[in-house]
Chain A
């Protein structure tokens, strides 16, 4: 227990980094995922193909590879730099990689949500003269979002857990790195591990419960 109390503030700093990464990535991946799903159902074959190719490629690549490539490849070799400050640069590289990765899963969740929208809804939308983008924006996507709230919650939970892979991008500030760092100095400590695990659960469980509750509340009555 002593180690947990002694290193608590140090580890808490790391956990806040994970929370920050999660918050930014949640917004970016939801936006990017919505754009991707619009591409994948659009009447333009070029956009459809581009969306499908992106999702299939990125979804099948290990996140560790994406993050390591962002840092070692894109940043070091190609010169993609968000900030002169290395820690700020690392933060945004992780945000970029993790959002690009999570967006695929958001896109797939939304796409299955679109499949739950009854045919009649889209037919009615067309019958009153809405164009593709209008019916997508005003009729289909709102219903699709409501149908996949709880799967989107699972995607977000997986994303929050994935923030610990930030080490792969050379961003040494998150709680996984700080736990490893602490173990390097004090040796293994079970209370520290359990403490961090409980901290993650304290974030993840409410999200699961909340999205489950929200999904029931907002379910489209049919």
Chain B
């Protein structure tokens, strides 16, 4: 690895090797200094005391607090994911409609919900529902509805891009053999578009899962509320250990989903079943078209 030539640097000569070794030592010292600084600051406040870490190796902390919180998070994420996919499918296809009276309102809805901050939307729904429907517990509903409208709008764009990414010859050929509009969409375009969309959809679901943490602000009992509101009073002083433990759970979940998305993308790049190329996830960077640069595997950017 270190002796390989890459985009930015050659196999180093004697001087560059010396410089790289010096840089490595410097970087190591700097990183160790930062780690040491954090360790000392935590130590001064007794954050390494075994008593406050003890609860996290006991089963009842997990069964009584962390797992119920995780279930709360996953419940909100699963509900929102299902509704957002439905919303995205409906509005994405509506934006492709031939009828202006369908296309334009769908476009306005999608653009509106994509542009407003998600937290404002959740607050608004949270306060709107009791005044419309009377008292009750609308926390989960407001969270799921907010997540659905925002992520659904992003997914609508993904669906639209996915269908548009199927080469035009496919629908022309389908019309030529006599299929109608619905038949072309359902039998030809959508099956190919779904393959192209999947990586982008999973990437958006990672965003959705991360955004369920906003439930903390409207006092929904999720993993984050457990870590910051419910565990610390029960185990005095355990706020930082709790935050670190739930942080690791969030990071692990998201990395699993991301790895799944990458695997899907690789698979659909290889697959010849679809003539559509995988589209970039909405939060990612649009590629500059073929030939804009070297394929990414040429560059060693590990």
> Which A residues are closer than 8 A to B by beta carbons?
40-48, 50, 52, 56-57, 60-65, 68-69, 72-73, 76-80, 105, 108-109, 111-119, 122, 126, 131-132, 135-136, 140, 147-148, 150-151, 154, 158, 161-165, 167-168, 175-176, 179-180, 183, 187-188, 190, 193, 196-197, 200-201, 204-205, 222
Contacts and interface: CB of A to CB of B under 8 A. Distances in A.
Interface in B210-255: 210-214, 216-217, 224, 227-228, 239-240, 243, 246-247, 250-251, 254-255
A44 to B, nearest CB: 5
B23 A44 contact: yes
B145 to A, nearest CB: 14
Interface of B: 1-2, 7-10, 12, 16, 19-20, 23-24, 27-28, 31, 41-42, 45, 47, 112, 115-120, 123-124, 127-128, 131, 206, 210-214, 216-217, 224, 227-228, 239-240, 243, 246-247, 250-251, 254-255, 258, 283-288, 292-294, 296, 298-299, 301-302
Contacts of B212: 62
A135 to B, nearest CB: 6
A50 to B, nearest CB: 6
A64 B217 contact: yes
Contacts of B299: 41, 114-115
Given A50-B27, A65-B246, A162-B117, A60 B251 contact: yes
A128 B12 CA distance: 15
Contact of B31 (A46, A131, A154): A46
Contacts of A165: 119, 214, 217
B224 A65 contact: yes
B243 A188 contact: no
A119 B250 contact: no
A179 B120 contact: yes
Given A132-B8, A164-B120, A180-B123, A119 B24 contact: no
A94 B12 CA distance: 42
Contact of A64 (B45, B131, B214): B214
A197 B294 CA distance: 41
A180 B125 CA distance: 11
Given A151-B285, A200-B116, A73 B243 contact: yes
A188 B285 contact: no
A45 B251 contact: no
Contacts of B211: 62
Contacts of B127: 180, 183, 187-188
A138 to B, nearest CB: 12
A73 B240 contact: yes
Contacts of B24: 44-47
6 contacts: A43-B8, A46-B31, A64-B217, A65-B247, A68-B228, A108-B285
Contact of A197 (B120, B217, B296, B298): B120
Contact of B293 (A73, A115, A163): A115
A188 B131 contact: yes
B126 to A, nearest CB: 9
Given A64-B213, A109-B285, A197-B115, A46 B292 contact: no
A38 to B, nearest CB: 10
A167 B224 CA distance: 14
Contact of B217 (A42, A69, A167, A222): A167
A61 B211 CA distance: 10
A47 B250 contact: no
9 A-B pairs closest in CB distance: A62-B213, A116-B293, A60-B254, A188-B127, A64-B213, A161-B117, A112-B285, A164-B117, A151-B285
B259 to A, nearest CB: 11
